[in-house]
Amino acid sequence: MIKDWTRRIFLTKTAWATAGASVLSAQIFQPKNNKQPNSTVSDSQDIQYTRKVPVRYEADIVVVGGGIAGISAACAAAKSGAKVILIERFAVTGGMLTTGGVANFCGQMNGQGEVFDSILTDLKSFQALGDPKRDSVFHYEILAIILQELLYRRKVQLLLHTRFVDARIKNGQITECLVSGKSGLEAIRAKQFIDCTGEADVARILGFQTIKGRPSDGLQLPMSLMFFIRHVDPKHAKIQLPEGWFQRIETKDDLPMTSIWPDGPGANAIKIKIPMYDSTNTESLTAAEIRARRRMMEVLDYFQRVEKKNWLLDHCSPIIGIREGCRILGDYVLTVDDLRAGRAFEDGVARGTYYLDGHKPDDDKRTYILPKDQLKVPPYQIPIRSLIAKDGKNLMMAGRCFSADQLALSSARVSTTGSMMGQAAGITMALAVKKKCNPRSVNPQEVRQIITQRGALLDV
């Protein structure tokens, strides 16, 4: 059924930013009122236009974002019988785990529930899970295939190359979302929406309350770029960075935090820290991407020239790795104290098992917000209230953009916990559809029962 939908849209012209030359002098963009800081036009020049947009699809549930949280939400909801559409802006699903080049699961891998179990089973059958050093490492190109097939088996309608751009809301109830794909601007009508964008894109455009960064200055956990190198025969080794390009790193001490991972697809993965950028600001994110690729060449040059490694650049992740984006304020904000106490909640629907992996926001070295002896936490639960947006009636969230403080996020952001959160949100929304209500009216005990029936461990 195609209907017309009219929406007012405000546009503000923006200017391109240049990437900072030195990491610690890089400008930290903290825009106010959603305006780009380097905008070349004044507020008074905002434009307004009206356009008719076809309602191209209808579904019970729209999941926005196809990372591990979104995949888990969509698959869990579909298993409960809901008609689900998953929107993903890129060509592949998997988010940070695939497009971001993170090829490793952290946190407890068993007892996450049937969606995650199914992913592990498929990775094993492709012989794409584990290497001699770590069981949690996987081949991310294979993961991308497994995830798309999982969605297809569950009859989730997947729209790739489709970016969520706006939503229409009436009396706190989101009625349609507006997406932009290769077919143009289209609307999708649904009863329930789940924001799994990592950056709270749905909530932000609606003006819902969000939380971001360190309380004192808003700085987010640092980003990191994943790139991949090939080992070559010494006779094919070379120094790839030409004279006069970028800065030379001469000693190990001058490297940013650099982790060399066992295996990416056919190559070693190298992770370099790129702090002090804002993932929710176009100019800042542009600067981060540019800075990261420069840094990649500087670090590679150090290894090729100074350490005489026989490495050549193989490929680089198409998107910088974002640890912390923007979170949606929920009915409850999970805190680091909850994690330290190993807290159980009556409405606990997911479980976290990873340590407080909170890298210092303003440092590119291997530094943490907390002293090393304070990083460990016992298993803890995540209440359903942290997955329900405080503003509005029918928006849930899962994964990196759930409702938590920065340190709680530093643990709960990992893939295993993200999958559990997604599963819980999917099951809750499917129940809401069945009962013709909104997520707040769903009995958390019923959600918990289904979650445990599907093989997830909630015990703490």
Residue in 20, 113, 198, 264 binding ligand FAD, rule: CB under 6 A? 198
Nearer to ligand FAD (CB atom), residue 113 or residue 321 = 321
Cα 247 from Cα 22, distance rounded (Å): 9
Q: Is 405 one of the binding residues for ligand FAD (CB under 6 A)?
A: no
Q: Is 386 one of the binding residues for ligand FAD (CB under 6 A)?
A: no
Q: Is 275 one of the binding residues for ligand FAD (CB under 6 A)?
A: no
Q: Is 428 one of the binding residues for ligand FAD (CB under 6 A)?
A: no
Tokens of 116: 């995650």
Pick the piece of the chain touching ligand FAD (CB under 6 A) from 10-18, 65-73, 284-292, 444-452.
65-73
Residue in 415, 423, 428, 438 binding ligand FAD, rule: CB under 6 A? 415
Nearer to ligand FAD (CB atom), residue 104 or residue 210 = 104
Q: Is 164 one of the binding residues for ligand FAD (CB under 6 A)?
A: yes
Q: How far is the CB of 225 from ligand FAD (least distance, A)?
A: 8
Residue 257 Ramachandran class (φ > 0 left, ψ -120 to 50 alpha, else beta): beta
Cα 2 from Cα 119, distance rounded (Å): 36
Q: Is 158 one of the binding residues for ligand FAD (CB under 6 A)?
A: no
Q: Is 327 one of the binding residues for ligand FAD (CB under 6 A)?
A: no
Cα 97 from Cα 138, distance rounded (Å): 9
Nearer to ligand FAD (CB atom), residue 198 or residue 330 = 198
Q: Is 256 one of the binding residues for ligand FAD (CB under 6 A)?
A: no
Cα 113 from Cα 76, distance rounded (Å): 10
Q: Count other C-beta atoms under 10 Å from residue 37's C-beta.
A: 16
Number of residues that bind ligand FAD (CB under 6 A): 37
Q: Is 292 one of the binding residues for ligand FAD (CB under 6 A)?
A: no
Pick the piece of the chain touching ligand FAD (CB under 6 A) from 96-104, 150-158, 168-176, 208-216.
96-104
Tokens of 251: 């000693």
Residue in 106, 333, 370, 437 binding ligand FAD, rule: CB under 6 A? 106
- Can you list the pairs that 288-296 forms with residues at least 24 positions away whose Cβ atoms lie under 8 Å? 288/19, 288/223, 288/320, 289/319, 289/320, 290/18, 290/19, 291/19, 291/20, 291/23, 291/26, 292/223, 292/225, 292/320, 293/225, 294/19, 294/246, 295/23, 295/225, 295/256, 296/225, 296/227, 296/270, 296/272
Pairing between β-strand 348-352 and β-strand 380-383 as defined by DSSP bridges = antiparallel
Contact between 167 and 200 (Cβ < 8 Å): no
Q: How many residues in the chain?
A: 460
Cα 111 from Cα 455, distance rounded (Å): 6
Pick the piece of the chain touching ligand FAD (CB under 6 A) from 197-205, 238-246, 330-338, 388-396.
197-205
Q: How far is the CB of 90 from ligand FAD (least distance, A)?
A: 5
Q: How big, in percent rounded to 5, are the helix, strand and coil portions of the chain? A: 30, 25, 45
Pick the piece of the chain touching ligand FAD (CB under 6 A) from 5-13, 238-246, 288-296, 407-415.
407-415
Q: Count other C-beta atoms under 10 Å from residue 253's C-beta.
A: 7
Nearer to ligand FAD (CB atom), residue 67 or residue 383 = 67
Cα 444 from Cα 146, distance rounded (Å): 30
Q: Is 63 one of the binding residues for ligand FAD (CB under 6 A)?
A: no
Nearer to ligand FAD (CB atom), residue 425 or residue 442 = 425
Tokens of 332: 């409850």
Residue type, 441: S
The neighbouring-strand residues paired with 350 are: 382
Q: How far is the CB of 437 from ligand FAD (least distance, A)?
A: 26
Cα 333 from Cα 412, distance rounded (Å): 12
Residue in 28, 29, 56, 70 binding ligand FAD, rule: CB under 6 A? 70
Q: Is 67 one of the binding residues for ligand FAD (CB under 6 A)?
A: yes
Q: Is 166 one of the binding residues for ligand FAD (CB under 6 A)?
A: no
Cα 202 from Cα 164, distance rounded (Å): 8
Nearer to ligand FAD (CB atom), residue 100 or residue 213 = 100
Contact between 65 and 42 (Cβ < 8 Å): no
Q: How far is the CB of 195 from ligand FAD (least distance, A)?
A: 9
Q: How far is the CB of 73 from ligand FAD (least distance, A)?
A: 9
Binding residues among 223-242 for ligand FAD as defined by CB under 6 A = 224
In the complex, which residues of this chain contact ligand FAD (CB under 6 A)? 64-70, 87-90, 95-97, 100, 102, 104-106, 163-164, 196-199, 201, 224, 271, 321-323, 399-400, 413-415, 418
